[in-house]
Amino acid sequence: MLDIAVVGLSCKFPGARNLEEYWKLLKEGRKAIRPVPKEKWGYQSTYWAGLLEDSGQFDSKYFILSEADVKAMDQQALIVLEESLKLFSHAGYSAQEVKGKPIGVYIGGRSQHRPEKTFLEKARNPIVAVGQNYLAANVSQFFDLRGPSMVVDTACSSALVGMSMAIQALQSADIEAAVVGGVSLLNSDEVHHIFEQRKILSKYHQMHVFDRRADGVVLGEGIGMVLLKTLDKALADGDKIYAVVKSVAVNNNGRTAGPASPNLEAQKEVMLTALKKSGKRAEDISYIEVNGSGSEVTDLLELKSIKSVYDSDSADICILGSIKPNIGHPLCAEGIAGFIKVVMMLNHQRMVPFLSGEEPLKHFDMESTRFRYQRTEQEWTGTKKAAAINCFADGGTNVHVILENWEYDNAVEPKRRPIPLPEPETVENRPVTTLNRFWKRKI
């Protein structure tokens, strides 16, 4: 497998309006789970969640969309557009530089959006409001990207399955870069009701992982996006490289006792496949971002599968961690939330604290393994730092990712750096941007 470089990142998660705030939240070991406010759904519920802060009004003119269309569109589609702009800027690319390029867009998400009838009737292009594919297609349309554009839905593992597809296209040279992301917003209380009916929603409003206090999940919102290239292409383009993806493996549980029931053998198989593809040994991995289901039984199975693949008497300590105690379970954005966390850890060479696991599971002796939990922020030691990410989903699609840090040779330094977002200008009292002027489009 060709190594894949992560050359740009962008995100918005509970308690974090951007990449820098997300890193700060993780470093400081803070939780961003709170009661759902009355204004969220129009009534005062008893539910808790990890919620995004309101970022203000969407700039329809900037993104060349009619206000009538925007009113009818899924908010998830709007936030994907905003974050894709931030993503290219973080990677150091203007819209002019990516226009017309074979860049693919792979968005993990789920849209069941049904706008109010009056909004839909007034929309110029009603299909953008009800077509799930437009979560990704809007990005291709706005930036004039010529690679494939698709939405992937495998529940929690959606974004990382999309990443696997993107990497295949990069390796076969079908595309030269890939926008990969995941998004999930709690625009109604429907998901809470479903999780409550399934008896997997936490009654105590805390998301515990690998901990006897686990009593279910706390739901969350979020969006994360990354820009990927083959390592050779990234070096040739002078990109800043934040981490390197060594491999991604995907499989499915097959038939189990139910849609959320894990399969121990399938979990082990996907880990082993990823390791083999990466060229790494189990003892090379010093950090694993775990899935963590909020259930003592399924968490125990994940621990057992990790132990069977990664434990070794001769290996150094391996740290286990999870974003879920910090921000809740962001559904289709779960995999990308963990991925971005690990990329930032590798780039900064820092470990961040894990906020659960204080009360060990009854049937797992952690002390007899090489696994430990990180309780404070500290340096990630070792010359070559490698990590794994677990992501298991309702419906059984499992993903395992292997990454490592990247260090530049002294003679080679990246030429690209993050660039400011284009500032709006005023012409005849109408907002115009550098992007609009470049395209010579009238608003």
Predicted confidence band of residue 231 (pLDDT cuts 50, 70, 90): very high
Residues 6+ apart with CB under 8 A from 225: 9, 10, 11, 80, 83, 84, 86, 87, 179, 180, 181, 336
Which two three-digit tokens encode residue 124?
């110029």
pLDDT in tens, 69-125: 888 888 999 999 999 999 999 999 999 999 999 999 999 999 977 777 787 676 777
CA dihedral 301, 306, 309, 310 (to 10 degrees): -160
**Residue 316 and residue 211 in contact, taking contact as beta carbons nearer than 8 Å:** no
Name which residue leads in pLDDT, 266 or 70: 266
Domains in the chain (CATH in brackets) are 4-404 (3.40.47.10)
Residue 172: its pLDDT value, please? 98
pLDDT at 401 over 60: yes
**Residue 262 and residue 280 in contact, taking contact as beta carbons nearer than 8 Å:** no
Average pLDDT over residues 146-152: 98
DSSP-based three-state secondary structure for 74 = coil
In DSSP terms, 108 is beta-bridged to 152, 182
Give the H or E element holding residue 228: strand 222-230
pLDDT at 50 over 80: yes
